[in-house]
Structure formats: structure tokens, C-alpha cells
């Protein structure tokens, strides 16, 4: 199963919006079935949480249940919240999903290499079968539109109330930005940049043997995969992707070994030169960098939502406002100047204000009481990884840094790819 983990997390389509989104996605069915079958075979003792983990789970539920009741009393019946009963059910679902992600990795064996090889195989399959046809559409070609829209109909995840994102049949045919099967381009950037990229960075640094034996073919595979991942992040035309490329290159320059740094510098200088030339002489490239980096517009909701989240955290620092009850507090606290736009009036005011800063969202939902202990675990594991410095340790350290950087923007720590990457890096040796 270890080899196939990365394949399964590539399918995020939500099949019901009554339940928690991750509870109705394909990974829930596949991983749930796998764990169930393994438990029947007698491996159930391997997936029984420790007493400490059970106590933490109960504490999280009780603290959040009280906070949900308080928030429900404060905001009353609000269509932009999860609701009291639905919110508590969602919290239970969330705890089940976290356990299931851990149990799946727990049953998948100790070896890290099957997971790594699975990551490379999944990326190249996704790249060839999904991303290249989308890129062909993105540059204005029409030959693959039917194929792309067909895949989107089967596997693409959509946001409620954002039909304008998909009205031409899929996100890429409508917005002309790569998204894979994700609901929009920034989420593809998170998938590639936070889940896959740490594996590829570690592969280059550790000179892992992915292809049969050491040699030119293996080295080329490591570098070409890493470069292709960077190109996907840029092709997504999103600030998140560009930031991930910058931070990951910087990390590689700092942590790389010997000729790896020289090779990377050559790639960076060459890439910068080519990029500058394209920026100057190719209108489409010039427009992309101007729109998504140098002169980004339409940031009122992101900035206003971040300020609203920050104020919500300051008002409810210890216990947050409860899972599923963030929207009314964000709406109350966002500056009035950030509401004068169609996206807020037609989407956020109707369907709820999303959390546009994952890091602040953790504190707004769960409060210092729950978030600080989790951050302590992350930091402690980081110290252990720094001491070990094996392949899994480097993957974990790259993952943490890139995840924290990305969490300043839209970021769901409970998405299947993020949870699986976290547990895989912790479990594997």
C-alpha cells in the first residue's frame, strides 16, 4: 500500500457537502477499506491509538464542544456556520479522518523508499495524464479541451457558489490556470509544493536511488522531477506557487551538498535569464508575472479576511470560536472597506467567509490551548529530525518549512495530502 499512497491523495473531489469535505472524498473510501480489511486480518492492534492519543482526542472534542455551544449561543442560527449539531458531527468526523490517515500509514510498513518511489510515480502519472493536457489548453490550444473537461467532470473538486470558476467545463478552460483536480490553482500549488516537493528536494540532496542503480539516469530523474515540479508551480500562475519556488530554491542552496549547490546555481541563473527574457518579450509571461506577483489586484478579501481573523484570534485567544463557527466572527471583524467587492457580496456574504490564512485560522478555530501543544510537537519532531538527518528527516524538515510558509495563505492542515505527508514523514525511516 505504501507505494500507492500518493496516487490516492490526488483525487480530492467532494461527493457530499453535508458531511465534512474530507469525509466524502475518494481517500476516505480507499483508506477506510484498506484499514478495515487489515483489521479483519488481525492487524487491529497496530492501529489502536495509545491512551495518551485517546485522551488528547477526548480533550479536543470536549473543549471544542463547549466552545461550539458558546458560539452557537452568541451568533444564533446563521446559515454561514456549520450549525451546532452539524458542527459537533464535523468535529467527530475530523478526528476519525486524522486517525484513519495515521492508521493507513501505520499499516503501510516502516520502509521509506516505497513511499518515495510512489511519490515519483504518482507525480509523473499526474503530470503526463492531467497537467500536460491542461497546459495545452492554457496556452490556447483546443485539441485537449474535451479530454480535460471529461476528466474534470469525473474528478475535479468544485467550490460551492463559484460556478464562475468552472462555467466553460473545467477550471483550466475557464480561468486558463493549471489546477489538476483541485478546486483552484493555489491548491494545486499546495499539493505539489508542500506534499511532493519536499520528497523531490530530499531525493536530490540524498542522491536517492530511484531508478534501479546509481548513475546518470538516476541523477537526471531526480533533477528533472524537481525542475518539473517548479515549472508546474509557476504554470499555476499563483502567488503561492511562486513563493514556494523561491523558498524551496533557497532551502536547497542552504542545505545542498557540494556540486548540488553549483548545479542549482546554474539552474537558477539560467532560469532567471530565460524568465527575464520571456517577461520582456512574451506578452503572456509579462502579464502573468505582473498580475500574480508585481501588481496583484483583487486582494481586498485576502487582506481584509486576514485582518478579520487576527481580530477574531485576539478576541478569543484561549479556546478560539469553535470548528465551523469562524465565518460570522470574521464577517464581524473584517474592515468595511474590504466588503465593497462582488466576490464578498455574491459569495462570502451568502455562503460564509472562508479562512484565507491557514495559520491564523488554526488559532481562530481551536485557540492557544490546542494549537500551542501541536506546534510544540512539530518543533520537537523538527529537532529530532535535525539530529537524525536521514532521508525521512530531510523530507520532514522541508515539509514543515514549506507548510508553515504556505499556511500564511489559504491552507487546510486537515486535507488528505497534508495529513498523509505529515504521518509518512514521521513514520518512515
Average pLDDT of 194-202? Answer: 95
Residue 341 and residue 391 in contact, taking contact as beta carbons nearer than 8 Å:
no
* Residue 222 · residue 203 · CB < 8 Å: yes
**pLDDT reading at 146 higher than 70:** yes
Nearest 10 degrees: CA dihedral of 11, 16, 17, 19? -100
* String of DSSP letters for 365-414: HHHHHHHHHHHHHHHHHHHHHHHH-SHHHHHHHHHHHHHHHHTTSS--TT
pLDDT one-digit tens code per residue, 404-423: 999 888 778 888 899 998 88
In eight-state DSSP terms, residue 344 is I
> Which pLDDT does position 286 carry in this prediction?
65
**What are 124-140's pLDDT values in tens digits?**
999 999 999 999 998 88
Taking all residues of the chain, what is their mean pLDDT, rounded to a whole number?
A: 86
Reported confidence tier of residue 84, pLDDT bands at 50, 70, 90: confident
Higher-confidence position of 342 and 33: 33
pLDDT tier at 288 (50, 70, 90 boundaries)? low
Mind listing the pLDDT tens digit for each residue in 40-78? 998 888 888 888 888 888 888 899 888 888 888 888 766
The answer to whether residues 5 and 108 touch, using CB atoms and an 8 Å cutoff, is: yes
What is the CA 34 to chain-centroid distance, rounded?
23
Q: Which residue has the higher pLDDT, 305 or 293?
A: 305
pLDDT above 60 (res 297): no
What percent of the chain clears pLDDT 70, i.e. is strictly above it? 93
pLDDT at site 330: 87
The answer to whether residue 357 scores a pLDDT higher than 90 is no
Q: Give the pLDDT confidence score for residue 180 in this predicted structure.
A: 92
Average pLDDT estimate for 271-277: 80
Give mean pLDDT, residues 285-290: 66
Rg (CA), the chain: 22
Q: Is the pLDDT of residue 223 over 60?
A: yes
For the cut 60, the answer to whether the pLDDT of residue 382 exceeds it is yes
Long-range contacts: 149-152, Cβ < 8 Å, 24+?
A: 149/173, 151/181, 152/181
Res. 97: pLDDT tops 70: yes
pLDDT, tens digit, for every residue of 3-48?
889 999 999 998 877 778 888 899 999 999 999 999 999 888 888 8
**Residue 153: is its pLDDT beyond 60?**
yes
Given this model, what pLDDT does residue 7 score? 94
* Selection from 112, 102, 100, 105 nearest residue 1 by Cα: 105
Q: What is the pLDDT of residue 145?
A: 93
pTM of the predicted model, to two decimals? 0.89
Amino acid at each position: 500500500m505504501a507505494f500507492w499512497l500518493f496516487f490516492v491523495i490526488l483525487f480530492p473531489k467532494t461527493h457530499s457537502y453535508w458531511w465534512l469535505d474530507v469525509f466524502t472524498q475518494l481517500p476516505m473510501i480507499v483508506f477506510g477499506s484498506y484499514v478495515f480489511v487489515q483489521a479483519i486480518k488481525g492487524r487491529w492492534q497496530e492501529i489502536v491509538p495509545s491512551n495518551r492519543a485517546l485522551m488528547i482526542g477526548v480533550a479536543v472534542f470536549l473543549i471544542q464542544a463547549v466552545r461550539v455551544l458558546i458560539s452557537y449561543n452568541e451568533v444564533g442560527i446563521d446559515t454561514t456556520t456549520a450549525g451546532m449539531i452539524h458542527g459537533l458531527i464535523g468535529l467527530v468526523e475530523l478526528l476519525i479522518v486524522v486517525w484513519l490517515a495515521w492508521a493507513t500509514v501505520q499499516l503501510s510498513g516502516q520502509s521509506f523508499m516505497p513511499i518515495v518511489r510512489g511519490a515519483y510515480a504518482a507525480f509523473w502519472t499526474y503530470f503526463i495524464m492531467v497537467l500536460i493536457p491542461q497546459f495545452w489548453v492554457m496556452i490556447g490550444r483546443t485539441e485537449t479541451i474535451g479530454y480535460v473537461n471529461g476528466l474534470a467532470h469525473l474528478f475535479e473538486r468544485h467550490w460551492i457558489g463559484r460556478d464562475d470558476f468552472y462555467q466553460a467545463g473545467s477550471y483550466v478552460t475557464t480561468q486558463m490556470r493549471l489546477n489538476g483536480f483541485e478546486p483552484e490553482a493555489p491548491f494545486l500549488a499546495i499539493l505539489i509544493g508542500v506534499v511532493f516537493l519536499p520528497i523531490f528536494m530530499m531525493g536530490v540532496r540524498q542522491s536517492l536511488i530511484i531508478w534501479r542503480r546509481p548513475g546518470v539516469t538516476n541523477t537526471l530523474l531526480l533533477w528533472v522531477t524537481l525542475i518539473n515540479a517548479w515549472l508546474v508551480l509557476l504554470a499555476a500562475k499563483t502567488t503561492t506557487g511562486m513563493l514556494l519556488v523561491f523558498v524551496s530554491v533557497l532551502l536547497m542552496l542552504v542545505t545542498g551538498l557540494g556540486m548540488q549547490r553549483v548545479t542549482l546555481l546554474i539552474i537558477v541563473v539560467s532560469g532567471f535569464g530565460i524568465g527575464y527574457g520571456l517577461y520582456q518579450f512574451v506578452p503572456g509571461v509579462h502579464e502573468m508575472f505582473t498580475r500574480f506577483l508585481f501588481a496583484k489586484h483583487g486582494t481586498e478579501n485576502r487582506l481584509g479576511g486576514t485582518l478579520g481573523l487576527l481580530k477574531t484570534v485576539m478576541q478569543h485567544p484561549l479556546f478560539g470560536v469553535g470548528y465551523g463557527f469562524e465565518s460570522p466572527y470574521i464577517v464581524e471583524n473584517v474592515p468595511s472597506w474590504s466588503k465593497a467587492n462582488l466576490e464578498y457580496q455574491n459569495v462570502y456574504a451568502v455562503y460564509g467567509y472562508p479562512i484565507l490564512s491557514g495559520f491564523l485560522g488554526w488559532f481562530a478555530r481551536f485557540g492557544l490551548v490546542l494549537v500551542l501543544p501541536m506546534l510544540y510537537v512539530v518543533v520537537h519532531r523538527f529537532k529530532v529530525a535535525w539530529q537524525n538527518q536521514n532521508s525521512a528527516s530531510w523530507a520532514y524538515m522541508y515539509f514543515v518549512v514549506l507548510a508553515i510558509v504556505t499556511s500564511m495563505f489559504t491552507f487546510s492542515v486537515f486535507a488528505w495530502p497534508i495529513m498523509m505527508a505529515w504521518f509518512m514523514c514521521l513514520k518512515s525511516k
